[in-house]
Amino acid sequence: MKILIIGAGAIGVALGVTMAATGEEISFLASERTGNEIRKNGIHRTGLFGDADISADKVKVYSDYSELPTGEFDYVCISIKTTVNAETAAALWKRKDCLKAGGIIVILQNGWGNDLPYIKYFDKSVVYNARVITGFQRTAPNISNITVHTAPILIGSLHGYPKEKGEALSAAIRNGGIPSEVTDEVGKALWAKMLYNTTLNPLGAILKVPYGKLADCEASVNIMNRLIHETFSVMNAAGYTTFWNTPEEYIETFYGKLVPDTYAHRSSTYQDIEKKKKTEIETLTGTVIRLGEEYGIDTPTHRIIYEEILFLEAQF
C-alpha cells in the first residue's frame, strides 16, 4: 500500500514510522528543511509505543506537488497545520491524479470544519476525517516523540460513506503499534476531541503548563468547566452530538480519565507559541465562537481565551 503524508510534523513523522514499520510504502510532501533531514537520516519514533527507526532509503520525500507521481497513492494523509488547509486543498486538487482510483484523503487534524476546504474541490466520498487523541512532540525535524495516549485513532466519513474505505490505513497504524479503528461516528468523535482541545489547548498555552496542572487548581478547573458548558451549548444548538449527553457526563470522564491519561502533555498550542508559530486557534476556539454567533449562543469564556491567544501571537 502506498501512502502520501502531507506535512512531516510530529503527527506525520510518527505515523510515517508506524506504517513504514509494517511494510507500507510511505512518502512525504515536506518542507525543504525537513525533507533534507529525512533524506539524510530517515525518520524515527520514540516514546510511549516504543522506539522505531526507518532508514532514509525506505521513505520517499517530495518538495513540491509538481513532483508527485500519477496514480500512485491509496491514501493521502493531511497532517499539516489547519492554518494552511485552503492552499493545500487547492494545490492537491491540481494534482488529484496522484491518487489511485478509489483512493481517499484522510484529514488528521485538530478542530472542526477541516474537511470544508477539501470538499470545495473533491467529492465528499473522497474526503475522510480522523480523530487523533494521542500526544506527539517533534524533538528534531525527523523525530517524533509520543508522549501520551488515551484513545484509538478513529477514521471515518463525515458524509455517510463506508468506514471500510479507511480500514487498510487504520490497520497499518494499528499493526505498527498505535491503536486505531474505523467508525461510523467520526463526527461524534471529532466533537469529543473539540471538547477536549478547546478546554485544554489554549488555556495550557496561556498559563504555560501541561494538561494535568490545569486540573490541580480550583481556579483553572472553574475556567475549564465554563468552557465545557459553552462548547456543549454551541454543539447542541448547531445540531451536533457526541458520546456524552450532558456537560456533567463529559466532565466526569474528562477529569476521571482524559486528563489523567494525558497529564504531562504540553498542548500543540503551547508548543506553537513557544516556537513563535501561528496557532490553530481559529479551528478550535474560533469555531466555537463563530458557531455560537450563528446560533445565538454566548461564549464569553471562549472569547477571553481566544483574545489572549491572539495577544500572544501578536508578540511574535
Task: Tell me the catalytic residues.
Answer: 193
Q: Give the length of the chain.
A: 316
In three-state secondary structure terms, 296 is coil
Hey, is 237 helix, strand or coil? helix
Residue 161 sits at φ, ψ, to 5 deg, of -90, 160
266's enclosing H/E stretch is none
Residues 6 or more apart from 265 whose CB is under 8 A from it? 135, 147, 148, 210, 211
Instruction: Give dist(CA 93, CA 223) in Å, integer.
Output: 42
CA atoms within 13 A of residue 212's CA, in its CB half-sphere: 8
For 170, residues 6+ apart whose C-beta sits below 8 A from its C-beta are 153, 155, 180, 181, 182
The three three-digit cell numbers of residue 62, written as one number: 517530495
